[in-house]
């Protein structure tokens, strides 16, 4: 993911597929301020704007960002590098672009319009100016509300003894620190919350964390945590949606990277399916591998969604997650990267250069720096394939209406 977001500041460490597989990538800048995150382009340097999905779903995604902006103070500031725009201007920018889409413009008309009325900023990217695009999706798992012989693995709700400590409330010197997840000992002392291994070892953990639903396998549960939300097929046509509620606060550690380091899976063969296959073929080592990642995610039932960190629903191939410290929330963006060719069924192995307008509607702990973006791929076969294999460098641009526009 949120909503607590589909990719909240806690969950995103679990949602990002490629970090899940391979860990960090070389050459990625670790910017900590927004001032150097975006570079203003001259109109001569604008990319050619073409939407390969023919604007499908774009208006709906714009409306979701407008829902967000209409809930914040109109004077709230958003950084485009060193330039600042208010929420009121962000609303005007999106409304103007949305109105233009109603004309069903040609490629030439679209590019003329953007050059005339919009400022374009390019994400700083890595040392080569590129952004690494990965993907996430909404998975579907079989499950039941009650435990049975076939469904023995609980998806836990937020535990009653899980405490969230905001260090910034104690002193300004902690304002940039993350919140701590803890538990009390003897009602006096706070200690870190249980790790994944510790949670799995507590046989009556369900007494402090009521299961939301029961799944068929630990592997299913782990992959649900990786995505941060999902649909549970309860049988007989009933579907339950679950979403991130909290985490134990432990640092995310990639089991994909662990398996590569142990020479169990070649890096070039790494994918979600490769990890799933390996775990199912090596049940005797499941504890070793899954416990390598101490982080554990708790869930809640939800209506609608899935949601991003702005509290609005994310849209397939129209919503991205970026580092919320560096890039403006809710902003209109344009991405260029390779995506699988939808017409190449059933293998879906051919990739082609693609470009899409997207909205910056999510964030997460594993999406850090100016050279990372995560594309929400929706649900279904194509979504799962894309999210599991998308690991492509490309370009990312942010668009905003010129302030002189009337």
Residue 359 sits at φ, ψ, to 5 deg, of -115, 140
pLDDT, tens digit, 9 for 90 and up, residues 143-175: 999 999 999 999 999 999 999 998 888 887 777
- Assigned domain for 146 exists: no
Residue 4: is its pLDDT beyond 70?
no
- Quote the CA–CA distance of 109 and 106 in Å, as a whole number: 5
- Assigned domain for 379 exists: yes
- Assigned domain for 387 exists: yes
Residue 16: is its pLDDT beyond 80?
no
**Three-state DSSP state, 182:** strand
Number of domains in the chain: 1
Q: Where do the DSSP E strands lie in 286-391?
A: 297-301, 319-321, 332-340, 351-362, 372-376
- Assigned domain for 121 exists: yes
pLDDT at 364: 72
pLDDT at 171: 81
- DSSP H helix total and E strand total for the chain: 11, 19
- Quote the CA–CA distance of 361 and 93 in Å, as a whole number: 16
Average pLDDT for residues 299-328, to the nearest whole number?
A: 94
- Assigned domain for 356 exists: yes
- Assigned domain for 358 exists: yes
pTM: 0.78
- Domain assignment of residue 326, given as a range: 25-138+312-406
Q: How confident is the model at residue 208 (pLDDT cuts 50, 70, 90)?
A: very high
pLDDT, tens digit, 9 for 90 and up, residues 96-148: 999 999 999 999 999 999 999 999 999 999 999 999 999 999 999 999 999 99
pLDDT at 389: 86
DSSP 8-state code for residue 238: E
**Three-state DSSP state, 164:** strand
Look up the CATH number of the domain holding residue 128.
Answer: 2.40.40.10
Residue % of the chain over a pLDDT of 70: 89
Average pLDDT for residues 182-193, to the nearest whole number?
A: 92
How many residues in the chain?
406
| In the block, residue with structure tokens 């919350």 | 193
Q: Among 367, 391, 133, 394, which residue's Cα sits nearest to residue 270?
A: 391
Q: How confident is the model at residue 2 (pLDDT cuts 50, 70, 90)?
A: very low
Average pLDDT for residues 360-384, to the nearest whole number?
A: 90
pLDDT at 23: 40
**Three-state DSSP state, 111:** helix
- Assigned domain for 109 exists: yes
Residue 303: is its pLDDT beyond 50?
yes
Alpha-carbon Rg for the chain, nearest whole angstrom, is 21
Residue 344: is its pLDDT beyond 70?
no
DSSP 8-state code for residue 45: G
* Residue, of 102 and 6, whose pLDDT is higher: 102
Least confident of 255-264, 276-285, 346-355: 346-355
CA dist list (Å): 363 to 33, 85, 92, 318, 329: 16, 20, 23, 14, 9
For the ranges 74-83, 176-185, 305-314, 337-346, the maximum mean pLDDT occurs at 74-83
- Assigned domain for 333 exists: yes
**Three-state DSSP state, 359:** strand
């Amino acid at each position: 993911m949120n909503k607590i977001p589909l990719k909240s500041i806690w969950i995103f460490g679990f949602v990002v597929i490629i970090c899940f597989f391979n860990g960090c990538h070389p050459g990625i800048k670790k910017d900590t301020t927004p001032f150097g995150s975006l570079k203003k382009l001259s109109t001569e340097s604008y990319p050619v704007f073409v939407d390969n999905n023919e604007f499908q779903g774009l208006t709906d995604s714009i409306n979701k960002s407008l829902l967000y902006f209409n809930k914040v103070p109109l004077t709230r500031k958003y950084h485009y590098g060193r330039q600042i725009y208010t929420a009121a201007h962000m609303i005007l920018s999106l409304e103007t672009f949305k109105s233009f889409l109603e004309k069903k413009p040609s490629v030439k008309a679209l590019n003329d319009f953007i050059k005339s009325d919009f400022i374009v900023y390019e994400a700083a990217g890595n040392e080569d100016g590129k952004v690494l695009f990965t993907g996430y999706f909404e998975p579907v798992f079989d499950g039941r509300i009650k435990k049975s012989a076939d469904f023995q693995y609980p998806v836990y709700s937020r535990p009653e003894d899980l405490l969230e400590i905001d260090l910034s409330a104690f002193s300004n010197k902690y304002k940039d620190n993350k919140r701590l997840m803890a538990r009390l000992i003897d009602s006096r002392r706070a200690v870190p919350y249980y790790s994944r291994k510790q949670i799995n070892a507590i046989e009556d953990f369900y007494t402090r964390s009521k299961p939301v639903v029961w799944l068929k396998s630990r592997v299913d549960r782990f992959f649900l945590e990786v995505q941060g939300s999902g649909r549970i097929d309860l049988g007989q046509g009933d579907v339950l949606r679950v979403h991130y509620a909290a985490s134990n606060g432990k640092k995310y550690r990639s089991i994909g990277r662990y398996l590569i380091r142990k020479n169990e899976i070649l890096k070039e063969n790494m994918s979600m399916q490769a990890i799933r296959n390996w775990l199912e073929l090596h049940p005797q080592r499941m504890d070793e591998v899954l416990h390598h990642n101490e982080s554990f995610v708790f869930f809640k039932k939800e209506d609608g969604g899935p949601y991003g960190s702005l509290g609005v629903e994310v849209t397939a191939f129209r919503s991205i997650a970026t580092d919320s410290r560096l890039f403006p929330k809710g902003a209109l963006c344009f991405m260029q990267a390779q995506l699988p060719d939808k017409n190449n069924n059933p293998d879906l192995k051919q990739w082609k250069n693609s470009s899409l307008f997207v909205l910056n509607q999510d964030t997460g702990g594993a999406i850090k720096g100016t050279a990372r973006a995560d594309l929400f791929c929706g649900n279904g076969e194509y979504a799962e394939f894309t999210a599991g294999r998308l690991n492509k460098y490309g370009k990312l641009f942010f668009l905003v209406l010129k302030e002189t526009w009337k």
